Amino acid sequence: MAKPRLQPGPDHPITITPTGKRVSVTVGGKLIAETDGALTLQESTYPPVQYIPLADIDPAALTRSDKQTYCPYKGDASYWSLPDAADAVWGYADPYEAVKEIKGFVAFYPDKAEVVIADRTAAS
C-alpha cells in the first residue's frame, strides 16, 4: 500500500526560514553542534523546530539508529542516537519537495538535548 503524501496548505501550513542566529546543541553538558546556518521549521500548531546542518554536528556524537518513521508532509525520517539518549535526532535524507530545504539537516528532541538560540549581539 502506498504511503499517503500530503501538501502543506491552509489547514496544515509548514514554513521553513533561516533562524538568523547562532544555534548550539548541548548534550550532558558537552557542546555537540554550533551553527549560524540553522533553519526554523514551523509546522501547523506544533512548536517550532530547529534544523541543524549535519556538517555542523560533531559526528562522534551521533550513532545511526534503526528507527524510521514517516510523515505524510515531509517523507521518511531516519534517526540517530546520542550518548545516553536513544533516537534523539531525526532527519529526512530525501524530503518531499515542499520541505526540500531540510535535506542535509537534522533536528533534536528537546527533552534529549539542549538547543539554544543565541542573540548574535551577545556573542563576541
Q: How confident is the model at residue 10 (pLDDT cuts 50, 70, 90)?
A: very high
In the chain, the number of structural domains is 1
Instruction: Report strand pairing: 39-43 vs 14-18.
Output: antiparallel
Let me know if residue 4 belongs to a domain.
no
Q: How confident is the model at residue 123 (pLDDT cuts 50, 70, 90)?
A: very low
Q: Quick one: which H or E segment has residue 17?
A: strand 14-18
Let me know if residue 3 belongs to a domain.
no
Measure the CA–CA gap between 39 and 102, rounded to whole angstroms.
8
Q: How confident is the model at residue 84 (pLDDT cuts 50, 70, 90)?
A: confident
Measure CA of the first residue to CA of the last residue in the chain; give whole Å: 54
Residue 41: which CATH number?
A: 2.170.150.40
Q: 50 and 113 in contact (C-beta within 8 Å)?
A: no
Let me know if residue 63 belongs to a domain.
yes
- The residue to which cell 549581539 is assigned: 121
Q: Which domain holds residue 65?
A: 14-122
pLDDT score at 119? 73
pLDDT score at 2? 87
